[in-house]
Amino acid sequence: MLDAVREHMRNVERKVAGRKVTSRECLLQAINHQEPDHVPCSPRMFNWMSGIYGDDGWICQMRLANEFGFDPLVRVFLADLNVVAEPDNPVIDAVQYLSDISVDITTKRHADYTEVRRTFHTPAGDISEEKIMGDPGSLYGDRPDPLFREHLLKGPEDLEPMKFLLPDFDERKAEILPTIIELVGERGLVEVSPRHGAGGYPLATFLGAEQAMLLAYDDPDFLRQCLQLFNEYYQSSARACLKHGAPMLVDAWWTLSVGSGWSPQLFREFAMPPIRENIELVHSYGAFYHYYDDGALDKTVDWIAQAGADIIETLAPPPLGDIDLAEVKKRIGDRSCLKGNIDQVNLIWRGNPEQIREAVRQAIAAAAPGGGYILSTADSIRSESPPENIQAFFDAWREFGSY
């Protein structure tokens, strides 16, 4: 199997053999605010890959980079199965995966959704939830999120039982990282996602976004305790990945951001402390920190850069977000590498090639001088996007992306 993958990677490398610098060197120079021979290009295409290939794993990412000839930040997902929040199977028997607990599950079936109530019995006490799960492909969407009537975390007394529902990270997953890094080689730069989101994601899942916002005013100490619990959980897996050589970690905070309804002041008070902790942890291993938020960033991006984020993504422009790329480049472009900004909905999905060409030209002109910019999209290119629009994106990059 590994020999076949190595041969595939050799074929991938032949696609860009004529360049002065490799994709890995190009990305590293951009992150270090140097001008390589060309502006690196690494669009988010996970949705497109899933729709076209039926997969978005790292080998598929390399296949896609070979087809279009771009410089991939190769995302390796090492997240464990979350038996509490797993969206595809609301009645999963959690006892199979978690020790020292039992669970009572009751369901009520309706035409296109299922009511689910689960009570987990842990050594620290009981903890329960109630939610509605829409059927995939129904009027609720392809993979609908649950609608919670009752979240697991309702007060400080639930924190200890919650710990029993967070499975330990299986470090054996991280042991494959040196092999993946070797196989990717100079053709790209590996980055690791050790959990699905950091502290903000489980906060929204187990506590609820609205409830968390209310706690910021009604019980800020409990909110901080929740964030501390989930960020320590994230860091336990991050350390394992860093120990096995992860050159970059991706840390997503979009569920606790201005784009999700939090004020800049609350973001600074509650999100920035764990973000700074994560940046310090990553840097202590000599690795890069990649901050991800696909919503509004203008009011918070300066704090994230000041904290030491090496890459900030996705820098969505209006109407998806609020970023003026040229203005943000002036503010933080000497501290953090900027990645993103091309509208994947109104341009690459619904626009035309000439509009895409002009947007790419403007983005490169605004952010590429002096290095520190990776051309990318404001989120994942949709699988419905016309092939001629996707090709126009890469054609424009080749036309305007040389230093």
pLDDT per position as a tens digit, 339-382 = 999 999 999 999 999 999 999 999 999 999 999 999 999 999 99
pLDDT band of residue 83 (cuts 50, 70, 90) is low
Residue 2 has what pLDDT? 47
Of 306, 399, 403, the closest CA to residue 30 belongs to 403
Task: Write the pLDDT tens digit of every residue in 15-67.
Answer: 455 567 999 999 999 999 999 999 999 999 999 998 888 889 999 999 999 99
Please state which of the ranges 138-142, 212-216, 337-341 shows the lowest mean pLDDT. 138-142
What type of residue is 38?
H
pLDDT band of residue 135 (cuts 50, 70, 90) is confident
Determine what percent of the chain is predicted with pLDDT higher than 90.
70
Which CATH number is 2-80+169-400 given?
Answer: 3.20.20.210
What average pLDDT does the segment 383-389 reach? Answer: 94
pTM value? 0.90
Residue 395 has what pLDDT? 97
Alpha helices in 297-386 (DSSP H): 301-307, 325-332, 353-367
Structure tokens at 250: 């991706």
Residue 216 has what pLDDT? 96
The angle, 0 to 180 degrees and rounded to 10, between the axes of the packed helices 58-68 and 2-14 is 20
pLDDT band of residue 93 (cuts 50, 70, 90) is low
For the cut 90, the answer to whether the pLDDT of residue 97 exceeds it is no
Task: Report how far residue 320's alpha carbon sits from residue 14's, in angstroms, rounded to the nearest whole number.
Answer: 37
**Helix (H, G, I), strand (E, B), or coil: what is residue 197?**
coil
Domain extent listing, the chain: 2-80+169-400, 94-154
Mean predicted lDDT score pLDDT of the chain: 89
